[in-house]
Amino acid sequence: MVKSSVSSCGKMHLSAKEVMQAKCFQEFFFNGLFGRLFSGSESEGTKREFLLQTETKSLWSSSYMYLLLPIETLDTSNTNPWRVNWTGISSCAKVVEFLKKNSSLGPEHLNGDQGNLSLSMTGSSMTEYMASDLIHFANTSIDVHNLQDLLVLATHTGRIYSIVEVVSSESAESPFEETVDAASLEHSYMSTSKQSRYGIVLVYPGQPLLRLKQSHNPHNLLGAEGAASKDGRSAEIKPQAHVHMPPEVLVSIDFRVDVLRSFYLLPSLMYRLESLMLASQLREEINGKSSNIKISSSLILEALTTLRCCENFSLERLEFLGDSVLKYAVSSHLFLKYPEKHEGQLTARRTRAICNANLHKLGTERNIQGYILDGAFEPRRWAAPGQHSRFPDPCKCGVDTLEVPLDSRFQTKAPVKVGKFCDRGHRWMNSKTIADCVEALIGAYYVGEGLFAALHVMKWLGIDSELELSLTIEAITRASLRSYNPKNDQIAALESKLSYKFSVKGLLQEAITHASQQKLGVSYCYQRLEFLGDAVLDVLITRHFYHSHTDVDPGELTDLRSAAVSNESFARAAVRRNLHPHLQHCSGLLVSHITEYEKLCTESLNNTSLLEEIKGPKALGDMVESIAGAILIDSKLDLDEVWRVFKPLLSPIERCDSLGYFVKETITKEDAMVNAELSLQLEDVILVGKGHERKAKAAKQRAARQLLKKFEGYLQRSRDISYVQFDSKRRKLGREHLDDLSSKDMDIDTCSKLTDDGSSKPIIHTNENMTQMLSSAESRVDFTPANGCSNEVFGDNIENSGVPVIDSINTRKGEPRKMLYELCQKLQWRRPEFTPTEDKSRTPIEFGEGSEKRQGFSSFVSDISLQIPNFGTIVCRGEPRADKNSSFDSAVVAMLYELERRGRLTIGCS
């Protein structure tokens, strides 16, 4: 991993000569590494030409121009540590002049008269050259001891190399009878005569050959694609590409290999920097004169990046959040601005405002499409200023202007290469992508600076979403003037159940009044508040999932929200919290429906399948939503206060995930119906929920409801869950009090202390008060042995089950955790928990070995706790590491080996 930062060194004034040399350096280096310095050859039947031989204005564009110049070794004690390395830049300019002078004469003249005029030696034996300690290049002579890691350019290939070593045992005169390996193919280019296949006459063929490491094309070092190419498990370690050449065909460059390595980073680095600058430019357009909004460029960039970019981030999570924030803001605005419009009219206006078609229209009017990143970075097509692209993509878009016009000629339903650039910068993208980006920008501003900032970006886009306090007060005043006749003080009783006291009772009265009451002359009902409350609960639950499920896929977040924000969930919550008796209505059919539903909810505690026979009354779910809307208005749009009241109503599925359990999903199709099965592995039992519907989503929701009801019943029947108590106390007390917990507190059979010397001694605890298994078949986890390893059976509780096998432990940062999480998900074990401890030092501490060695002033040691069903909990400690995440990985490695020792895992095959 390489972390880069950008620092300002202030203004720098360059003379005309320095500008010329700087541009020459950039032209030479970027084309030498990633392009071509020479074009044409006899084999191609074209004239050989040096790219920089004549005017190079065509390589530069006024709209894309900057200089990337190397600096000298940093000296922080100096008042001006940022000094440009003009010595190296000047040497490159001299190399260019040398090539200009000699390339026109042909390769056979690069040496001798027009080449190295300073050479006067006439001997040809290798011994004589080594004795002189001088190596003669095409443009100069250098002491043999100063060649390590020096950069050179091959005059016959136009490629830049770095010197690895001087091969003292070989020269151009050495006989090469044995076949050379593919990596040293150019070795065979040198014949035993004084002339090579390129027609270059060697004046000093007796010089030792140089072993060179050749340069390579730029790689995508960003995001998921870059990480995948470096994955040690899948990528083969390729041998170093080395070649052997005589020094006379090489032009020395006064730079070392560290400059070359930096150049390999530049395509990816500059692409990221340019993307952040574009994000910053968009931020300036959005913020305008408002200086109170502080949004990071990286957050804006996340909102502009689609999944097609193959990055480690994308706009999906921010879009998930922004969608709900937009819905809430527009709903609140419409509710307050149009007090006389009924729920149907408000819904129609909201749909028109937040639909993808309108968001696409507003986004293109603000030129959002010009900022969106919708394709993976192609480093081979990236070209620096002064660089000629080797991989052109001529424009075939049929567009004469730089920007694609927003008219029907360039809007097509036919398949196109989405996100791909042509050389003129034109690209194509789906209209939904622009709409998604608009929602993601709203989400980014909400995450960065809250609702005020999100409303600002909506206003910039042209979305009517102002939330004026005066309109809120007017709504409260209207409700306060409304007369109501509470029966048996039920308003106070309902407020007690909600743990919220209304300042205006008329709002709560409206929230519990069904439309059927209007037959009796009541002038209001809950429908308008239901319209508002639907959006309020949607944004609150979405916000909660966004912050509490940081590692969950956005698609799964959407499923979670769909399960939690549904009329069925709210209806069940109304019965669970005993809110349903407060619904004011005059419908006999609704009475019977609510009565039957309440009865089934009670009986389903012992028989979950009963609840699947009937759907909850819509009126109950509507009442829950309208109460949320009423609290929002009464609290003067205080979302946090609404969340305080409604957080207990969140679907129990949140409890499963918050405790770290993995839910396994199985979907099968049978004729026109979809069967969904969700299973949850607990300590001593597997809970299974099943759903059978025409659509997969409905089947999954039905299965989830059944599973969650079983989970609730399990918790109610269990008198105690020791690991929950143990973990909560461990988090509260901290690592230093772990050994002070009594065996009674932890409810354990055996307990071994953790030592402080870095070794791991597991703590195992079990609970004798767990419920009996549903069935032995349900509590069994089976595995298919890998790589031909035989199964091994351990313990009575997992009889006839196999042991999972992993080939090896990848110690690359993050990989051990990923491996353990995948193992836990497959086995449906509860997610492991980490407890890190930081130790600070006044003197540097060394970590790692070899190339991985690093220093720091803090060390982190982490304990890991893993709960295994029917077995207990194992706690291990990792070794000290320089950062917290690395300490997590070390703890995971200790855990994996401990699992192997205890027979719960096989690492490799013996």
Q: What is the mean pLDDT of residues 611-630?
A: 86
User: Cα–chain-centroid distance for residue 30?
Assistant: 30
Rounded to whole angstroms, the Cα distance separating 100 from 94 reads 10
Residue 761 reports pLDDT greater than 50: no
Rounded to whole angstroms, the Cα distance separating 377 from 312 reads 13
Least-confidence region, from 413-417, 487-491, 511-515, 906-910 = 413-417
For residue 253, give the H/E element and its range: strand 250-256
Pseudo-torsion of CA 419, 461, 631, 342, nearest 10°?
-100
DSSP code per residue over 822-876: HHHHHHTPPPPEEEEEEEEEEEEEEESSGGG-EEEEEEEEEEEEEEETTTEEEEE
All residues at 6 or more sequence positions from 774 whose CB lies less than 8 Å from its CB, including other chains: 685, 686, 687
- Specify whether the CB–CB gap between 333 and 467 falls below 8 A: yes
Structure tokens at 672: 């026109």
pLDDT at res. 414: 65
Rounded to whole angstroms, the Cα distance separating 72 from 86 reads 9
**Segment 376-427, tens digit of pLDDT:** 888 888 899 999 988 888 888 777 777 777 777 777 766 666 667 787 778 8
Residue with more model confidence, 463 or 7:
463
pLDDT at res. 653: 45
pLDDT at res. 475: 94
Half-sphere exposure of 844 (CA within 13 A, CB side): 6
Length of the chain: 910
DSSP-assigned beta bridge partners for residue 876: 864
Q: What is the mean pLDDT of residues 217-246?
A: 64
Rounded to whole angstroms, the Cα distance separating 269 from 222 reads 8
- Please give the DSSP secondary-structure letter assigned to residue 408: G
Rounded to whole angstroms, the Cα distance separating 306 from 809 reads 32
State the average pLDDT for the chain: 77
Max mean pLDDT among 191-200, 685-694, 765-774 falls in: 685-694
For the beta carbon of residue 476, count every other beta carbon within 10 angstroms.
17
pTM of the model: 0.70
Residue 273 reports pLDDT greater than 60: yes
Residue 756 reports pLDDT greater than 50: no
Predicted confidence band of residue 160 (pLDDT cuts 50, 70, 90): very high
94 by Cβ neighbours in 10 Å (0-12 / 13-18 / 19+) ranks as middle
Residue 99, amino acid: L
Predicted confidence band of residue 854 (pLDDT cuts 50, 70, 90): low
DSSP-assigned beta bridge partners for residue 152: 161, 252
pLDDT at res. 753: 32
Domains of the chain: 14-73+82-102+133-173+193-223+240-263 (no CATH), 291-311+330-392+418-461 (1.10.1520.10), 469-526+539-653 (1.10.1520.10), 655-727 (3.30.160), 805-907 (3.30.160.20)
**Segment 863-875, tens digit of pLDDT:** 999 988 878 889 9
All residues at 6 or more sequence positions from 374 whose CB lies less than 8 Å from its CB, including other chains: 306, 308, 309, 418, 419, 427, 429, 433
Closest CA to 90 of 19, 25, 141: 25
Q: How far from each other are the two terminal CA atoms of the chain, in whole angstroms?
A: 34
Least-confidence region, from 87-91, 430-434, 589-593, 745-749 = 745-749
Half-sphere exposure of 341 (CA within 13 A, CB side): 17
pLDDT at res. 706: 76
Least-confidence region, from 65-69, 422-426, 708-712, 876-880 = 708-712
pLDDT at res. 613: 54
**Segment 96-132, tens digit of pLDDT:** 999 988 865 454 444 443 344 333 333 344 444 545 6
pLDDT-above-70 percentage for the chain? 74
Please report, for residues 28, 97, 310, 384, 387, the alpha-carbon distance to residue 94 in angstroms, rounded to integers and kept in the order given. Answer: 11, 5, 42, 21, 19
Please report, for residues 147, 187, 230, 522, the alpha-carbon distance to residue 241 in angstroms, rounded to integers and kept in the order given. Answer: 19, 12, 18, 86
Rounded to whole angstroms, the Cα distance separating 91 from 98 reads 10
Predicted confidence band of residue 633 (pLDDT cuts 50, 70, 90): very high
Most distant CA atoms of the chain, gap in Å:
119
DSSP-assigned beta bridge partners for residue 666: 677
**Segment 321-356, tens digit of pLDDT:** 999 999 999 999 999 999 999 999 999 999 999 999
- Specify whether the CB–CB gap between 117 and 98 falls below 8 A: no
Q: What is the mean pLDDT of residues 639-650?
A: 88
Closest CA to 166 of 101, 67, 246: 246
Give start and end residues of each alpha helix (H) in 416-488: 431-449, 451-461, 469-480
- 3-class SS of residue 772: coil
Q: What is the mean pLDDT of residues 875-889?
A: 87
DSSP code per residue over 16-62: HHHHHHHHHHHHHHHHHHHS-SEE--TTTTS--EETTSS--GGG-BT
Predicted confidence band of residue 707 (pLDDT cuts 50, 70, 90): confident
pLDDT at res. 47: 82
Q: What is the mean pLDDT of residues 759-782?
A: 29
Residue with token string 């009889």: 799
Structure tokens at 881: 């590491």
For the beta carbon of residue 354, count every other beta carbon within 10 angstroms.
21
Residue with more model confidence, 82 or 380:
380
- 3-class SS of residue 138: coil
Residue 510 reports pLDDT greater than 90: yes
For residue 151, give the H/E element and its range: strand 150-154
**Segment 169-186, tens digit of pLDDT:** 888 887 654 333 333 434
